[in-house]
Amino acid sequence: MGVGGKFWELLKSYARFEGFDFLRDKKVAIDLSFWIVQHETALKNQALNPHLRLTFFRTVNLFSKFGVFPVFVLDGTPSPLKSQARMVRFFRFSGIDASTSNVAEEGVSKERNSTFKKCVNDCVELLELLGMPVLKANGEAEALCARLNRDGHVDACITADSDAFLFGATCVIKSLRPNSKEPFECYNMSDIEAGLGLKRKHLIAVSLLVGNDHDLNGVQGIGLDKALRLVRGFSEDEIFDKLYEIGKGHVPLFQGEIRCAADATPCSDESSPKAKQSHCSFCGHPGSKKAHFKSCCEYCITDSNEGCLKKSQGFKCNCSSCDKVRKDKDKKKHENWWINVCNLISKETKFPNDEIIEMYMCNNHGEFTEKGPLLEWGDPKTDLLVDFLAYHQSWQPSYIRQRMLPMLSTLYLRELARNPNKTLLVGQYEFHSIQRVKIRYGHQYYEVKWKKAISNELSCAVPVEQSNMLEEEFTEVDDEPIGLLDESIEPQIHVDGCWILTDENPELVLSAFPEEALKFRQEKELKVMKRRKISTPRSEGSSEMSESSKPQGVQLSITEFYRTTKTPSQAKLGEDLVKQSSSPGVGSSKQKRKVSGSKLSKAVRRRLLFG
Q: Looking at residue 307, what is its pLDDT? A: 65
Strands (E), 409-563: 429-440, 443-452, 492-493, 499-504
Distance (Å) of CA 75 to CA 137, 283, 375, 386: 6, 71, 17, 27
CB 114 within 8 A of CB 134: no
pLDDT band at residue 500 using 50, 70 and 90 as cut-offs: confident
- Measured distance CA(218)–CA(31) in Å, rounded: 25
User: CATH for 7-199?
Assistant: 3.40.50.1010
The more confidently predicted of residues 322 and 548 is: 322
Q: Which DSSP string corresponds to 310-360?
A: PPPTT----SHHHHHHHHHHHHHHHHHHHHHHHHHHHTSTT-S-HHHHHHH
Full strand arrangement of the beta sheet holding 156-158: 16-18, 184-188, 171-176, 156-158, 27-31, 69-74, 134-136
Q: What is the pLDDT of residues 171-204, one digit of tens each?
A: 999 888 777 788 889 999 999 999 999 999 999 9
pLDDT band at residue 147 using 50, 70 and 90 as cut-offs: very high
Residue 257 has pLDDT above 60, yes or no: no
**Which stretch of 118-127, 230-239, 304-313, 426-435 has the lowest confidence by average pLDDT?**
304-313
Q: Structural domain boundaries of the chain?
A: 7-199, 395-512, 567-610
Residue 484 has pLDDT above 60, yes or no: no
Q: What is the pLDDT of residues 350-374, one digit of tens each?
A: 888 999 999 999 888 887 777 778 8
Residue 349 has pLDDT above 90, yes or no: no
The more confidently predicted of residues 555 and 435 is: 435
The more confidently predicted of residues 96 and 82 is: 82
Instruction: Return the amino acid letter for 580.
Output: Q
Q: Looking at residue 558, what is its pLDDT? A: 61
CB 463 within 8 A of CB 497: yes
Q: What DSSP element (H or E) covers 556?
A: none
Q: What is the pLDDT of residues 30-45, one digit of tens each?
A: 999 888 887 666 555 6
Measure the CA dihedral 344/350/351/356, to 10°. Answer: -140
175 - beta bridge partners? 185
Report the pLDDT averaged over residues 578-607.
57
Q: What is the pLDDT of residues 263-284, one digit of tens each?
A: 433 444 444 444 567 777 777 7
**Which stretch of 131-145, 350-364, 584-598 has the lowest confidence by average pLDDT?**
584-598
pLDDT band at residue 527 using 50, 70 and 90 as cut-offs: confident
Report the pLDDT averaged over residues 119-144.
93
Q: What is the residue-averaged pLDDT of the chain? A: 77
For the chain, what is the total number of helices (H) and then of strands (E)? 22, 11
> Which range has the top average pLDDT, 114-118, 247-251, 260-264, 401-405?
401-405
pLDDT band at residue 510 using 50, 70 and 90 as cut-offs: very high
- Residue 128 CA neighbour count, 13 Å, CB half: 9
Q: What is the CA radius of gyration of the chain?
A: 42
Report the pLDDT averaged over residues 408-437.
88
What backbone torsions phi and psi does residue 434 show, to the nearest 5 degrees? -100, 120
Q: What is the pLDDT of residues 95-129, one digit of tens each?
A: 666 555 554 444 455 556 788 889 999 999 999 99
Residue 462 has pLDDT above 50, yes or no: no
Residue 435 has pLDDT above 70, yes or no: yes
- Measured distance CA(387)–CA(129) in Å, rounded: 11
pLDDT band at residue 588 using 50, 70 and 90 as cut-offs: very low
Residue 73 has pLDDT above 80, yes or no: yes
Residue 534 has pLDDT above 90, yes or no: no
**Sequence-distant (≥ 6) Cβ neighbours of residue 117 within 8 angstroms:** 111
Residue 382 has pLDDT above 70, yes or no: yes
**Sequence-distant (≥ 6) Cβ neighbours of residue 444 within 8 angstroms:** 437, 438, 506
